[in-house]
Homo-oligomer: A and B are copies of this chain.
Amino acid sequence: MVMNNAREQLIETTAALVEAQGYHATGLSQILKESGTPKGSLYYYFPAGKEELAAEAIAHTAQLLVKRATEALAADDDPAAAIPEFIRTIAHYVEASDFAAGGPLITVALESVTCSERLNLACQDAYRRLQEVFAAKLQAGGYSATQATHLASFVTAAIEGGTLLSRTAHSCAVLRQIADDLGVFLHIMPKS
């Protein structure tokens, strides 16, 4: 897909604002101001307005998460080493943002459960794709397809919950503990 600059800028700005403050708190005027995009472009590219733009922003974030996870997990053949190392990278990222970033979909995922089917489906798709990356790594590491799918949900939940607790505490100690614990868990978990 060829991305127009104004369209891309609107999507990236929205993704960053939704990550930092959620969907409800993000207004179109703030998106226009921070992206430096004229109002006409917004309605040209996203005739349905904020919800349509946010759905694209979630898809954009999903693509980034999948790319980062895939690249990071390729660093070690053993999922019990690669997954904890990826979580330590997330901890660095959260710290570098001064706890303003990390878990980019958590807020909008909960906000949209009952309020917006479109955004809810975009979040479902994003988490499904991310879990597939972990599942593929676990299966390549010797777990059965069923167990890999199962453990991929566990890993994703631990990362999202750990990011939440770390951002709340203004300390990534919890994310690093989770990296260690998941490493132990994946080492001692019998492969079926």
Contact = CB atoms under 8 A, between A and B. Distances in A.
Contacts of A181: 150-151, 154
A27 to B, nearest CB: 10
A158 interface: yes
Given A157-B174, A178-B157, A20 B114 contact: yes
Contact of A21 (B111, B151, B154): B111
Interface residues of A, number: 46
Contacts of A168: 109-110, 113, 120, 123-124, 127
Interface string A97-109: 0111001001101
Contacts of A106: 106, 110, 164
Interface in A156-172: 156-162, 164-165, 167-170
A174 B161 CA distance: 13
Contacts of A158: 154, 157-158, 161
A79 interface: no
Contacts of A161: 156-162, 164
Nearest to A169: B124
Interface of A: 20-22, 24-25, 98-100, 103, 106-107, 109-111, 113-115, 120, 123-124, 127, 150-151, 153-154, 156-162, 164-165, 167-170, 174, 177-178, 181, 184-185, 188-189
